[in-house]
C-alpha cells in the first residue's frame, strides 16, 4: 500500500465547503490572516450577505470584497525537464514503438499528471522540455506561428563551410519538407549553436544530413527565455516566478484550462491567472500539499509501496520492472535517469 503524508489542504475543507479565508487567499491574492481581517471588518460578502469568520465557500457562491466580485483564479503548473538521451517524448506505453524504451511514463510525477509539453525531442536527442497544464502557453510555445526560439548545441561529424552555413540559415527543402530560416553560430571545433523558430521532426539532424554531416550529439538548451541552467539529464523542477514572468504574454490566460488543487493532482509551484495577466505564487509550507515535495519515489507495479522524500532536483535513477518488480530512485548528488530494467527473464545493465 502506498504511503501518503497528510494533505495539508484537508484542514481547509469542511463538510460544507472550502473555508472562506482559504478561498480568498487562493483567489483574492492575500494571506489567510489578511482574509480574516477583511472578513472581520465586514468587507466580505457571500451572495450579498456580509460574511463572518468561519464561513465557508461552496460551489456557485459569489464572493465579493468591498462589493467587487472576486474572480476565481486558475492554478497552473510549470515544469522544466532535462530529457535525457534514450527516452521517448511520449506518455504512450506498451506499444510496438515504445517497447523496451524509456518514456515520460517512467517518471512517477509525469505518469500521474500527464502534463502537456512543449517541444518534443526525439529519442537520441536531449535537453529542455517545458511541461504545463496551461495549454494555451504550451500551444503558443509549440506552434510555428509564435516563432518561439529554441536553441540547440550541436556536435557534428565535421565542420560546416561558410557557404553551407549560409544555405542552411536561408532555409532548405529536404525530402519534401521546407525548413524555415534559422541562425547557426560556430562555438567550437565541429560544434554549433543553432536557433530554430519552428520544430519539425528531426529538423536539425535532417539539415545537417542535407550537407552529408552526421550529428553526434544534440542538446536543446533553451525554449523561449527558459534555459537549462546547469540541470543534469533526468532532472526536473518547477519554473521560478521570474522564469514564468519572462515568458511574457504567453503566460497570460487566454482560455479556461484550470487545475484544481487536490491530493490526486498535485500542484508544484503555480502561476495563477485571473484573465488579465499572471500572478506567480510559491506554495507555502502551510498550504501546499504534501505531494508537492514528494519528488523521489520508490514505486511498485501493483504490489509494492511508494515512499517519497523532499528534493529540489529529483532524479529518476531506478530499477524498472515490466511486471511485479519495483522502481527505486537514488538520492545520488549526480542523478541519472538510467536504470536497470527487468524484462522478466534477465537484467540489462
Determine which of 64-73, 161-170, 210-219, 322-331 has the lowest per-residue pLDDT on average: 322-331
Say if residue 299's pLDDT is above 70.
Answer: no
Say if residue 7's pLDDT is above 60.
Answer: no
Say if residue 15's pLDDT is above 90.
Answer: no
Q: Phi/psi at 208 (nearest 5 deg)? A: -70, -35
Confidence of residue 259 (pLDDT cuts 50, 70, 90): very low
CA 246/CA 237 separation, integer angstroms: 17
Give the model's pLDDT for residue 215. 98
CATH code reported for the domain at 78-227 = 3.30.2350.10
Q: What is the mean pLDDT of residues 33-39?
A: 93
CA 171/CA 204 separation, integer angstroms: 12
Q: What is the mean pLDDT of residues 3-25?
A: 60
**Architecture of domain 8-71 in CATH?**
Roll (3.10)
Say if residue 203's pLDDT is above 90.
Answer: yes
Give the model's pLDDT for residue 235. 96
CA 271/CA 281 separation, integer angstroms: 6
- 289 close to 90: Cβ distance less than 8 angstroms: no
> pLDDT (tens digit, 9 = 90+) per residue, 104-150?
999 999 998 899 998 889 999 999 999 998 888 888 888 877 788 99
Better-scored residue on pLDDT, 67 or 305: 67
Say if residue 318's pLDDT is above 50.
Answer: no
Say if residue 94's pLDDT is above 60.
Answer: yes
Give the model's pLDDT for residue 291. 30
Say if residue 293's pLDDT is above 70.
Answer: no
Residue 332: count of CB within 10 angstroms of its CB: 9
Give the model's pLDDT for residue 45. 96
Give the model's pLDDT for residue 246. 82
Q: What is the mean pLDDT of residues 263-284?
A: 36
- 308 close to 295: Cβ distance less than 8 angstroms: yes
Give the model's pLDDT for residue 154. 98
Distances (CA, A) of 249 to 244, 281, 314: 10, 17, 30
Domain segments of the chain as ranges: 8-71, 78-227, 239-287, 298-348
Q: What is the mean pLDDT of residues 323-334?
A: 35
Say if residue 19's pLDDT is above 80.
Answer: yes
> pLDDT (tens digit, 9 = 90+) per residue, 162-183?
999 999 999 999 999 999 999 9
Say if residue 289's pLDDT is above 70.
Answer: no
Give the model's pLDDT for residue 266. 32
Amino acid at each position: 500500500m502506498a504511503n501518503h503524508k497528510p494533505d495539508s489542504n484537508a484542514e481547509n475543507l469542511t463538510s460544507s465547503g472550502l473555508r472562506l479565508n482559504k478561498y480568498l487567499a487562493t483567489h483574492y491574492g492575500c494571506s489567510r490572516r489578511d482574509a480574516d481581517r477583511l472578513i472581520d471588518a465586514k468587507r466580505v460578502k457571500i451572495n450579498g450577505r456580509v460574511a463572518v469568520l468561519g464561513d465557508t465557500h461552496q460551489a456557485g457562491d459569489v464572493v465579493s470584497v468591498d462589493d467587487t466580485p472576486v474572480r476565481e483564479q486558475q492554478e497552473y503548473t510549470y515544469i522544466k525537464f532535462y530529457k535525457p538521451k534514450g527516452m521517448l517524448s511520449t506518455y504512450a506505453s506498451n506499444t510496438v514503438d515504445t517497447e523496451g524504451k524509456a518514456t515520460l511514463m517512467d517518471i512517477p510525477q509525469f505518469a500521474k499528471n500527464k502534463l502537456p509539453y512543449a517541444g518534443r525531442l526525439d529519442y537520441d536527442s536531449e535537453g529542455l522540455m517545458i511541461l504545463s497544464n496551461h495549454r494555451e502557453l504550451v500551444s503558443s510555445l509549440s506552434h510555428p506561428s509564435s516563432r518561439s526560439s529554441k536553441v540547440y548545441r550541436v556536435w557534428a561529424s565535421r565542420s560546416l563551410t561558410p557557404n553551407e552555413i549560409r544555405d542552411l540559415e536561408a532555409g532548405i527543402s529536404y525530402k519534401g519538407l521546407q525548413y524555415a530560416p534559422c541562425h547557426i553560430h560556430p562555438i567550437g571545433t565541429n560544434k554549433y549553436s543553432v536557433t530554430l523558430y519552428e520544430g519539425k521532426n528531426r529538423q536539425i539532424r535532417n539539415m545537417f544530413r542535407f550537407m552529408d554531416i552526421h550529428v553526434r550529439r544534440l542538446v536543446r538548451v533553451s525554449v523561449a527565455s527558459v534555459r537549462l541552467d546547469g540541470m543534469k539529464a533526468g532532472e526536473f523542477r518547477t519554473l521560478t516566478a521570474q522564469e514564468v514572468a519572462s515568458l511574457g504574454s504567453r503566460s497570460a490566460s487566454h482560455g479556461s484550462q484550470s487545475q484544481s488543487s487536490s491530493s490526486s493532482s498535485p500542484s508544484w509551484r503555480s502561476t495563477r491567472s485571473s484573465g488579465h495577466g499572471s500572478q506567480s505564487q510559491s506554495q507555502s509550507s502551510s498550504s501546499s500539499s504534501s505531494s508537492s515535495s514528494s519528488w523521489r519515489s520508490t514505486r511498485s507495479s501493483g504490489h509494492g509501496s511508494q515512499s517519497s522524500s523532499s528534493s529540489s532536483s529529483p532524479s529518476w535513477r531506478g530499477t524498472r520492472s515490466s511486471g511485479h518488480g519495483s522502481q527505486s530512485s537514488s538520492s545520488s548528488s549526480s542523478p541519472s535517469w538510467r536504470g536497470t530494467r527487468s524484462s522478466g527473464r534477465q537484467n540489462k545493465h
